[in-house]
Amino acid sequence: MRVADRLARRRGAHGCLAGRGERKATDNMSGDVDAVILNSERKFAVWKDTVGHSMLLLRSVKSELASSRVDVLFVGVERMDIPSTMDGLRIAGEGTYELSGPTWRGSVTALNCAVREDAGEYFDPSPFHEGSGI
């Protein structure tokens, strides 16, 4: 994992529990204990899926209730089973990340996941943009 990604995970985001030292152990769908990477009530959408770089970007844009933007980047994506829009997003696990909301469940199998919150606008490049292909 790149140093910048580790720092971003430790910094956290709106509604976010991030970083190895800050993760909370929770029961996942299979009964194992996993770390919570993100726990947010915000609306997210599949923003970009790049086949060539095997990356998936989920985004929650600014709204009347949220003055920031949150991007979630999965790299080395092998499989995904998620809706295109999500009301609420909880991410737990490592390798096979379990994603869920109040009315849905899914998963993403990837090498890594990172979360960043910033003041970017709707069409601004992702904070993961530089050198990532996103």
Tens-place pLDDT, residues 58-82 = 999 999 999 999 999 999 999 999 9
Written as six digits, the tokens of 126 are 């992702």
Look at residue 31 and give its three-state secondary structure: coil
Return the bridge partners of 115, or none.
72
- Average pLDDT rounded to a whole number, residues 20-34: 45
Q: Give the span between the Cα atoms of 80 and 127, in whole angstroms.
A: 22
pLDDT at 26: 42
Average pLDDT over residues 85-114: 97
Burial track 85-94 (b if 16+ CB lie within 10 A, e otherwise) = ebebbbbbbe
Dihedral sign, Cα of residue 69, residue 106, residue 90, residue 116: negative
Residue 134 domain-assigned? no
In a domain, 129, yes or no: no
- Residue 125 forms part of a structural domain: no
Question: So what's the pLDDT on residue 54?
Answer: 92
Q: What is the DSSP letter of 29?
A: T
Token code pair at residue 129:
């943009």
Domain span including residue 48: 3-118
Residue 7 in 3-state DSSP? helix
Whole-model pTM: value is 0.74
Query: Would residue 133 count as lying in a domain?
Result: no
Q: How many domains in the chain?
A: 1
Classify residue 80: in a domain, yes or no.
yes
Is 112 part of any domain?
Answer: yes
State the DSSP H helix or E strand holding residue 119, giving kind and residue range, or none if neither.
Answer: none
Asked if residue 87 belongs to a domain, the reply is yes
- Residue 127, domain member (yes or no): no
